[in-house]
Amino acid sequence: MNRIIVTGGAGFIGSAVVRLIIKETDDAVCVVDKLTYAGNMENLAEVSASSRFRFEKADICDREAMDRIFSDFRPTHVMHLAAESHVDRSIDGPGEFIRTNVMGTYTLLEAARKYHRTLSEAGKEAFRFHQISTDEVYGDLKGPGDFFREDTPYAPSSPYSASKASADHLVRAWRRTFGLPTLVTNCSNNYGPYHFPEKLIPLIILHALDGKELPVYGDGLQIRDWLYVEDHARALYLVATKGIPGETYNIGGHNEKTNIEVVRSICGLLDARRPRPDGRSYADQIVHVKDRPGHDTRYAIDPSKIGRELDWKPRETFESGIRKTVDWYLAHRDDWCAHVLNGSYKMERLGAGGDGK
């Protein structure tokens, strides 16, 4: 049985990984999460009663806490997802991104290195430190036929992507210099259930239902490759448990869409599932706003390596995934969504700590 630390495990992608592990494997999980604004214990409600689930409210920048958790839990794997991740927030206040994404990763690597030295030779061989990163570290693509590949040079455009690029470099350096068995994955834009409402897809769904304007940056022609979060979770677990140390794996959804296409797709689904009282389309609520500084034009990932070497491919098309996503938000508008929007989900943090059982 694997024993897996998942940092940021109460967040959007991290909680999808934790739910997958508890539901579909026999492994044990220790979630390490500071429970900042995007960490939500409701994301883990389905699995928190499991005897294989443990929760630690802790900051990855706290070295003493990290050493204690490694010593107590004795992990075989670390899946590092804890990060500040919203580009707009990184533009408004980059300092917290440097602290969490760079210094936090450094602190976690040092705790892992100390722990790794205590293991038997077999334990050292089996141990994995998996850095979960983003395609934004590559900058953007100009030509329609080009894709991000594992050997694409880094050229980050925002404080967020620069902080993640820094963390990736640290992870690779700790393998080269100290022999820590590390892996890195870079993923395209995720979407799906439990996505915090500041992100494009949930924001558009909830603003539409509330009769608010649907803001689209610039002309809306920026292209992203969309990856359903549960597909990503399966890929991450596969890399953590089957990937080769020192390797990088790009994870993409084969779903390139412009932002305006995504917004119009959501409007069309809502028109069919929850029509406006006046009979008009939700698309009438779309407004174009001033573009984000340094906004990358196109992201697109070539995921052929993970498909070829680890036999992974996404199960969801954008059309099937966005239908599931819209339906989930409609079904949970009055509980999960309401709790996030009114802030009541934060109250659960007061009792979070220990093993969470």
Active site (catalytic) residues = 135-136, 160
* Distance spanning both ends of the chain, measured CA to CA: 19
The secondary structure of 271-303, three-state, reads HHHCCCCCCCCHHHHEEEECCCCCCCCECCECC
Structure tokens at 210: 């509330």
Structure tokens at 14: 């991290």
Closest to 170 (Cα-Cα) out of 184, 187, 152: 184
How many CB atoms are located within 10 Å of the residue 278 CB? Answer: 8
Place of tokens 């980050």: 156
- Main-chain dihedrals φ then ψ at residue 46, nearest 5 degrees: -65, -25
Contact 40, 10 (CB under 8 A): yes
Closest to 183 (Cα-Cα) out of 232, 227, 132: 132
Which residues pair with residue 128 across a beta bridge? 77
d(CA 319, CA 302): 20
Radius of gyration of the chain (CA): 20
How many CB atoms are located within 10 Å of the residue 328 CB? Answer: 18
SS3 label, residue 106: helix
d(CA 299, CA 296): 8
